[in-house]
Amino acid sequence: MTENIYIYIFTAWFVSYLIRVLPLTLIRKPIENCFIRSFLYYVPYVTLSVMTFPAIIQATGSEIAGLAALVVGVLLSFFGAGLFPVAIACCLVAFVAEWLGNLI
């Protein structure tokens, strides 16, 4: 098992290196295709969402508390609340939902 760890580390390094180097070497001129430009524009947002949403739901003891905090956070953000009030409200909602879940 220990001899395979070096293969895993090298593979992870190589894939990370290719992801960073290939666009720099293969794409020399500006991208003019509107579809590809819009696709590349949204890739960071989608990647962050895919990593964040499951973590939000599973961060608490029950998935219902995480889902309630997520819904409150999305609604507050939609109505223009800032980052700090949204974070505080989500923490409070998750705390209260966990507390109520333990009482029931």
Domain membership of residue 30 as a residue range: 2-103
Q: b/e string for 3-36 if b means 16 or more Cβ within 10 A?
A: eeeeeeeeeeeeeeeeeeeeeeeeeeeeeeeeee
More confident residue, 71 or 29: 71
pLDDT (tens digit per residue) in 53-96:
889 888 888 899 999 999 999 999 999 999 999 999 999 999 99
Q: How many domains does the chain have?
A: 1
Structure pTM?
0.62
